[in-house]
């Protein structure tokens, strides 16, 4: 078995159990909300259209956006998140995932419940009233048994939707099978992607088959068949939890340090490097990867993660909300002063390399067109196609390039970082936004265009420590100015290359050996 499959199988038990847990909890919450609403709609038919329309509006919001919105909303309710944290429910991960997924599951539950009750024939209701049944007796003994097949149909749809959408919970810090999918996409590790997709699909299919069995049993008046379907769900839960327990390492009494990571190779590698460095000091550590850029800093400041790597230009814009340009040294000094004052976040180390935005071209194309700088590019841009990462076109760097150099391209297309490079090498783009520590720069013979007018800010890699574990600053200070950009590029290339691809953990181990 190769390293990729070994890594996928090692990740599966924990992620599968977390995925099943958050899906089941969200579905249970949605049912708890849907039941009184369905009964209210049955008693007041005029409410039906409004309630279903409101639930339908939620469905029009992409699941990823709904998940991302809940985390900052929860942080605004500071007292609530602090109280929940006291019960072990952090604002990062479980809570936003639970609320967003529950909202997403509401529409099929509401529609199935209201359609099921509406399907009961009026003469049946009249007969129940005629023999003196109370409203409660009629509901429990007549309406619900007759409506059960339709209600179960809505439950099946809600369950499958929830399990599918739960893969996106990775972006807000919730463990799920999405961890494998997102990591695999960024690393071009298709084994991870395949394992995550198959596990999510298999989980949805098993749950759907079990609920279908229960639905058929209820429709045909076969209680044993219905019980078999629900028993299959119990067996599924026991099997998944048993697999997780057998694969779990011995528990430590101390709360592990949570090392955060955004969703690209460099972040995965550095997170593994930090975690191993802490474990070597006897400190248990775990990695929460795949975090959205905005989520990561908020999670650190809120204490949901304890340490992660961010970049000076990102912090300058997204956290301090500064749009002015300052020299690198001054920018770092301001960040070291302002982050603790505003957010109780320390800059524990500047790692020694910069992961800055730049525009890049294939070396042969740049030479043929005589382009070495952004100023040269400005004249040729109207005939060229630009490929960017997903967020660049909304960032101030893009506005600065347009303002300073007057760049206007023939076409603009957004990609994930990995596919962006492939677009350039495959001839679908002429220029891309690149990152100065990307290992593919040398491997693909790319040329970074110089920025003679200083439009792009510095992006020094900074190790940030949150308020809950300020002691980590001293423990990790040995990383200060230890990683030159050439070394980081080589480590990144080990995880990004097609042949003899390394896992982020292996690349981190290689990097750690070079730092001794």
Confidence band for 254, pLDDT divided at 50, 70 and 90? low
- What's the pLDDT at 250? 60
Secondary structure of 183-218 in HEC code, one letter for each residue: HHHHHCCHHHHHHHHHHHHHHHHHHHHHHHHHHHHH
Average pLDDT, stretch 142-156? 88
- What's the pLDDT at 167? 92
Instruction: Give the lowest-confidence range in 23-32, 61-70, 202-211, 378-387.
Output: 61-70
Per residue in 454-489, pLDDT tens? Answer: 888 889 999 999 998 989 999 999 999 999 999 999
Residues near 255 by Cβ (< 8 Å), separated by ≥ 6?
284
Longest distance between any two alpha carbons in the chain, whole Å: 92
Structural contact between residues 182 and 173, judged by C-beta atoms closer than 8 angstroms:
no
Q: pLDDT at residue 82 above 80?
A: no
Sign of the alpha-carbon torsion through 363, 367, 372, 374: negative
- What's the pLDDT at 381? 93
Structural contact between residues 507 and 495, judged by C-beta atoms closer than 8 angstroms:
yes
Structure-token pair, residue 354: 């910069």
Per residue in 299-329, pLDDT tens? Answer: 898 888 999 999 999 899 889 988 787 888 9
357-448: CATH architecture: 3-Layer(aba) Sandwich (3.40)
Name the more confident of 192 and 82: 192
- What's the pLDDT at 308? 96
Average pLDDT, stretch 82-100? 64
Structure-token pair, residue 411: 């076409």
- Give the whole-angstrom CA distance, residue 198 versus residue 214: 24
Q: pLDDT at residue 253 above 60?
A: no
Q: pLDDT at residue 91 above 80?
A: no
Confidence band for 72, pLDDT divided at 50, 70 and 90? low
Taking Cα atoms as reference points, which of 334, 275, 298, 315 lies closest to residue 93?
A: 298
- What's the pLDDT at 164? 93
Per residue in 132-141, pLDDT tens? Answer: 888 888 888 8
Average pLDDT, stretch 28-36? 94
Instruction: Give the lowest-confidence range in 72-76, 130-134, 150-154.
Output: 72-76
- What's the pLDDT at 92? 61
Give the class (CATH, top level) of 257-356+458-514. alpha beta
Buried b (16+ CB within 10 A) or exposed e, 174-191: bbbbbbbbbbbbbbbbeb
Give the domain ranges of the chain.
3-247, 257-356+458-514, 357-448
Instruction: Give the lowest-confidence range in 2-11, 150-159, 254-263, 275-284.
Output: 2-11
Backbone phi, psi, residue 509, to 5°: -65, -40
Measured CA to CA in angstroms, residue 231 lies from 8, 206, 210, 245, 356 at distances of: 29, 12, 8, 21, 55
506 exposed, middle or buried (CB, 10 Å; 0-12, 13-18, 19+)? middle
Q: What percent of the chain clears pLDDT 70, i.e. is strictly above it?
A: 93
Confidence band for 5, pLDDT divided at 50, 70 and 90? confident
CATH number of 3-247: 1.10.3720.10
- Give the whole-angstrom CA distance, residue 387 versus residue 414: 6
- What's the pLDDT at 20? 94
- Give the whole-angstrom CA distance, residue 155 versus residue 367: 61
- What's the pLDDT at 362? 93
Domain 257-356+458-514 shares a fold with domain 357-448: yes
Q: Which residue stretches of 220-316 are H helix?
A: 223-247, 265-279, 293-302, 312-314
Instruction: Give the lowest-confidence range in 3-7, 178-182, 222-226, 393-397.
Output: 3-7
Q: pLDDT at residue 78 above 60?
A: no
Average pLDDT, stretch 33-54? 89
Residues near 64 by Cβ (< 8 Å), separated by ≥ 6?
168, 171
Question: Strand pairing of 285-291 and 446-448?
Answer: unpaired
Name the more confident of 410 and 425: 410
Average pLDDT, stretch 274-290? 91
- Give the whole-angstrom CA distance, residue 454 versus residue 401: 9
Q: Which of 213-222, 243-252, 356-365 has maximum average pLDDT?
A: 356-365
- What's the pLDDT at 90? 53
- What's the pLDDT at 9? 83
Confidence band for 333, pLDDT divided at 50, 70 and 90? very high
Q: pLDDT at residue 145 above 80?
A: yes
Instruction: Give the lowest-confidence range in 129-143, 190-204, 228-242, 257-271.
Output: 129-143
- What's the pLDDT at 77? 54
- What's the pLDDT at 71? 64
Structural contact between residues 182 and 416, judged by C-beta atoms closer than 8 angstroms:
no
User: Model's pTM, two decimal places?
Assistant: 0.75
Confidence band for 2, pLDDT divided at 50, 70 and 90? low
Confidence band for 273, pLDDT divided at 50, 70 and 90? very high
Residues near 50 by Cβ (< 8 Å), separated by ≥ 6?
none
The label of the residue with tokens 């990144």 reads 492
């Amino acid at each position: 078995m190769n390293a990729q499959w070994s890594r996928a199988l090692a990740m599966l038990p924990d992620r599968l159990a977390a995925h099943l847990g958050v899906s089941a909890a969200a579905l249970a919450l949605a049912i708890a909300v849907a039941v009184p609403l369905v009964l209210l709609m049955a008693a007041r038919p005029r409410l039906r259209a409004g309630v279903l329309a409101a639930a339908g509006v939620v469905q029009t919001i992409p699941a990823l956006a709904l998940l991302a919105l809940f985390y900052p909303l929860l942080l605004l309710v500071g007292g609530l998140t602090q109280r929940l944290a006291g019960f072990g429910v952090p604002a990062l991960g479980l809570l936003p995932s639970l609320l967003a997924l529950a909202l997403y599951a509401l529409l099929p539950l509401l529609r199935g419940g209201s359609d099921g009750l509406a399907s009961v024939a009026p003469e049946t209701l009249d007969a129940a009233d005629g023999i003196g049944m109370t409203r409660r007796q009629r509901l429990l003994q007549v309406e619900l048994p007759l409506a059960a097949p339709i209600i179960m149909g809505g439950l099946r749809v809600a369950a499958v939707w929830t399990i599918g959408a739960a893969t996106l919970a990775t972006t807000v810090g919730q463990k799920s099978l999405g961890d494998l999918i997102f990591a695999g996409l960024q690393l071009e590790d298709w084994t991870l992607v395949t394992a995550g997709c198959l596990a999510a699909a298999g989980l949805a299919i098993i749950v759907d088959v079990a609920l279908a069995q229960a639905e058929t049993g209820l429709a045909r008046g076969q209680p044993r068949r219905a019980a078999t379907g629900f028993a299959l769900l119990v067996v599924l839960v026991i099997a998944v939890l048993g697999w997780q327990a057998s694969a779990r390492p011995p528990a430590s009494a101390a709360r592990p340090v949570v090392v955060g990571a955004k969703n690209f190779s460099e972040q995965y590698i550095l997170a593994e490097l930090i975690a191993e460095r802490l474990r070597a000091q006897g400190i248990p550590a775990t990695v929460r990867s795949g975090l959205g850029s905005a989520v990561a800093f908020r999670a650190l400041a809120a204490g949901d993660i304890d340490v992660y790597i961010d970049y000076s230009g990102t912090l300058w814009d997204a956290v301090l909300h500064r749009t002015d340009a300052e020299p690198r040294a001054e920018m770092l000094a301001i960040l070291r002063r302002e982050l603790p004052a505003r957010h109780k976040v320390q800059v524990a180390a500047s790692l020694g390399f910069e992961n800055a935005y730049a525009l890049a071209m294939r070396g042969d194309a740049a030479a043929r067109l005589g382009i070495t700088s952004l100023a040269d590019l400005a004249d040729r841009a109207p005939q060229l196609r630009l490929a960017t990462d997903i967020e660049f076109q909304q960032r101030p760097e893009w506005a600065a390039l347009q303002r300073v150099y007057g760049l206007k391209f023939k076409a603009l297309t957004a990609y994930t970082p990995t596919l962006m490079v492939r677009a350039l090498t495959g001839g679908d783009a002429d220029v891309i936004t690149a990152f100065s520590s990307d290992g593919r720069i040398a491997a693909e013979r790319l040329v970074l265009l110089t920025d003679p007018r200083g439009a792009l800010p510095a992006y020094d890699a900074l190790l940030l420590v949150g308020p809950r574990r300020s002691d980590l600053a001293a423990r990790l200070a040995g990383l200060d100015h230890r990683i030159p950009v050439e070394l980081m590029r080589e480590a990144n290339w080990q995880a990004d290359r097609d042949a003899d691809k390394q896992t982020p953990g292996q690349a981190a181990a290689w990097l750690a050996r070079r730092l001794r």
